[in-house]
Amino acid sequence: MRLKQILFFAIIFCATHGLTQESKLLSEWSYNTANLMPAGKWESGLIQPFRYGINEKIEVRSDILIMPFIPNAGVLIAQGTKNDISFASEHSLSIPTPFLNFFSMEGTGGLISSEYDFSFILSVYNAFLASKPITKNTLVTAKIGYAFSVRSEKPDPNSTIDLPVFYPRMAHYYEGTSIRPGVALKIKLGDKWFYEEGVQAFIITRPENNFFLENTGTLMWTVGGSWRIRGGYILAYGKYPYKTPKWQLWPTFDVVFGSR
Amino acid sequence: MKNISFIIIFRFSVFLILLCGLYSCELPVTSFEDVEDAVYYYKYQPVAPQPGSTIKVTTWNIRFGIGRGEWFGDACGTKAIYTEAEVLPNLQLIVDRINQVKPDILLLQELDINSKRSGYVDQLKWIMDRTYFGYAVYGLQWQAQFIPSDGLGRLHEANAILSRWPLASATRIQLALRGDQDKLTRYFYERPCMVQAKVEIPGVTDFYAVNIHASAFATDDTKYKHFAAFKEELDNIANSGGWFVAGGDLNTLPPGSDSIDFCYEDICLGESFHQPGDDPQHKEGSNYAPEEEWLKPLYDKYKCAVPLNDYQQNQPAYFTHTTEPELTFNRTLDYLFTNSNWNPKSTVTHQDFFYESDHAPVSSEVVLIRK
C-alpha cells in the first residue's frame, strides 16, 4: 500500500469520532474490561475465550477451542464501583503440557524439536482491572497482572517457540514470573463500529530476554444479532533469543458471537 | 472538545506506530531477487598484504558448526537443536584449522548466522573475530523466521567469502529452486545461491571469487540447472577478461567415479531402497547415477584444483564428504576451479580434518595474473 494511501486513510480515520448516541459500547464489547457479562448471558470467539455471567459478581471463562491442547478455566470477579470506576479481578489456570508435548514432534507441524519432553506445568494467572468511561462512547481500562508456573521440572530452555506473541506468553513456563501491566481504550465509532487500542507489557523476572511490549489495534463490526467481526494488528517488541529483529507486526482476526 | 482532540491525537499516534511497524514486518520466509547485493562484513581496515605470485584458496562446508553431530537432517540422527555451548567448541576447531592452513581467500558453505539450530551464534562474525580475515561477504541461502517442522524454528544459513583483501561488487545470485517438492515445503525450504565478489588485490588484474552450494537432495534436474548457472557466471567473468577462483560444495561426483550410488552407505534405520516396491527407489541425495556427466562442461573449460585424471587414478585420496559420523570420507563433493592456473602439487584435500565437519576442506594455490 503506498504511503499516500496510508496517510489518506489515517486522516479520515482520525477525523471521525463517536456519534452522540446512547452508548452500546459495553453491551457489544465488554471483554478486556472490568465489566462482566450480564447474568445468564454468554459470548465466545474463535480467539476470545468463552464467557458466561453466573451472576452480577462472577463471570466464568475458558478458551474452548484450545481446551484439548491447553486445558484452561478462569473467573472474572467484580470488585465494586467507586467514582464511576469499575473494578474487577481475573484469575485463571491452564495446563500447557499437552500442547507442548503434542507439537514437540518430527516432521511438518513440529513447532518444537522432538528431542524435548515436557513434564506437568500448571500456569496461574491473576490480574486486577479498572475501567472508567471517559465519554459516553469511550472507555479506558487499566490492568495489572502476573503469571507464574507450578511445575515438576523446568523445561529445557532450548525448547521455546521463538515467535512474537508465543514467546512472551510462554516465558514463565521456563523461568521467572511474568508481570503484565496494560492499558486499553475502547471507542464507539458508530452504530455498528467499535475500536480498541491497547498496550501491554510483559516483564519477566529473569536476567535475559525479559521485556516485551505489544501494541494492539482492533476494529470491530457488529454484523447483526450477536455476531461481531474483529480485525486488527499486534505490533510486538521484545528481547528474543535471536538478537534481531526486535519489532514484529502481525495481523489479528476474530469472530465473536453469543446470546442476546 | 478536549476528549475529541485526545481521540484524534491518540489515533494519529496509532498510525505513526503502524507505519513504523510496517517497515519492520518480517515475513515467515524471505525470498530473494535473482541477483541482489551480498552482505558485507568488515572486521577492521588492515593493511592489505602484498601477495606473491600465488595465493591460497580454500573451500569448506562447515556444517553450521556442529562437527560430526548426529543431526536429524543428514546423519540419521534425532537431534535438531544444538546449543551455543555445543557449537562454540566445534567452531573453535574450525578456526584453529583455518589459522593452521592460512588461506588468503576462504569459501565457506553452511554458515549459520543467528539460527536456532546452532544456538543463535553469528558464526561469520565469530570466525572473523578469531582469524586474520579483514573482509567478508555473504549471501543467505536459507532465511526463515520460523520453520514449523522438526522444531527448526528460526534459520539463517549463508555462503560466505572471506578475504585478506577488500571485496567489492559482491552479489548474491539466486539458483533454481527444487522442482521435486510440493509448494508448501518449497516455500519454507532453502533457496540455493552463489555469492560472487571482486577481490581487490593490489597489482592484480580483475580477480573474482565465486562460492556456490548446490542442492544436496534434489532428485530432478535442479542440480544440473545449478551447474549450468555456475558455469554461465564463470563464463561471464572469463569473457569480460577477468580471472576467478570458484568453488564450493557442488553435491555431485566428478565424472568417472567408481561408486555412484550411496543409498546403502547413507541408509537410516527403518529405510529401504533398491527393493521391488520401494518408493522412493533411491535415497534423496545419495544416488548420483543420473549426474555422471553433469560436471564435464566445467572440467572441459576450466581447471579443477584436482585434475580429473588425478582423481580417477586415485579417487579415495580426494574424497571430501561422508554422512556417517564415525567413518572417514567416502565421496568427492567439494571443488575448486579457476581460469588461471593452479600451482602444481599445491592442492590438499584435508582428510585429516575429521571432527570439524562432515566435509573436508580443499585448498590450492592459484597463480595471480598481474596487470
pLDDT band at B22 (very low <50, low <70, confident <90, very high): low
pLDDT band at A195 (very low <50, low <70, confident <90, very high): very high
Residues of A in Cβ contact (< 8 Å) with B7 = 17-18, 138, 187
pLDDT band at A27 (very low <50, low <70, confident <90, very high): confident
Q: Per residue in B203-262, pLDDT tens?
A: 998 999 999 999 999 999 999 999 999 999 999 999 999 999 999 999 999 999 999 999
Shortest Cα distance, chain B CAs vs residue A157, angstroms: 10
Cα(B303)–Cα(B173) distance, integer angstroms: 22
Residue in B7, B25, B120 closest to A241 by CB: B120
CATH number for the domain whose boundaries are A35-258: 2.40.160.40
Cα(B46)–Cα(B131) distance, integer angstroms: 13
Q: Count of CB atoms within 10 A of residue B88's CB?
A: 17
Q: Do A242 and B4 touch (CB under 8 A)?
A: no
Q: Note the pTM of the prediction, 2 decimals.
A: 0.89
Q: Do A110 and B22 touch (CB under 8 A)?
A: no
Q: What mean pLDDT is predicted for residues B109-127?
A: 97
pLDDT over threshold 80, residue A5: no
pLDDT band at A243 (very low <50, low <70, confident <90, very high): confident
pLDDT over threshold 80, residue B20: no
Residue B18 is predicted with a pLDDT of 60
Determine contact, residues B153/B80, Cβ cutoff 8 Å.
no
Q: What is the mean pLDDT of chain B?
A: 92
Cα(A35)–Cα(A59) distance, integer angstroms: 10
How many angstroms separate the Cα of A26 from the Cα of each of A30, A38, A131, A141, A143? Answer: 5, 10, 11, 12, 17
Residue B205 is predicted with a pLDDT of 81
- Best residue in B25, B124, B147, B269 for a mutation probing chain A (most A CBs within 10 Å): B25
A42 burial level (CB within 10 Å; 0-12, 13-18, 19+): middle
Residue A9 is predicted with a pLDDT of 44
Residues of B in Cβ contact (< 8 Å) with A163 = 145-146
Cα(A204)–Cα(A174) distance, integer angstroms: 10
Q: What mean pLDDT is predicted for residues A73-92?
A: 97
A102 burial level (CB within 10 Å; 0-12, 13-18, 19+): middle
Q: Per residue in B179-199, pLDDT tens?
A: 999 998 888 899 999 999 999
Side-chain half-sphere CA neighbours of B215 within 13 A: 29
Cα(B317)–Cα(B61) distance, integer angstroms: 18
Residues of B in Cβ contact (< 8 Å) with A17 = 4, 7-8
The domains found in chain B, sorted by start residue, are 32-361 (3.60.10.10)
**Residue type, position B196, single letter:** Q
Assess A217–B contact: CB distance below 8 Å, yes or no: yes
pLDDT band at B24 (very low <50, low <70, confident <90, very high): low
Q: Going by DSSP bridges, is the β-strand pair B243-249/B207-213 parallel, antiparallel, or unpaired?
A: parallel
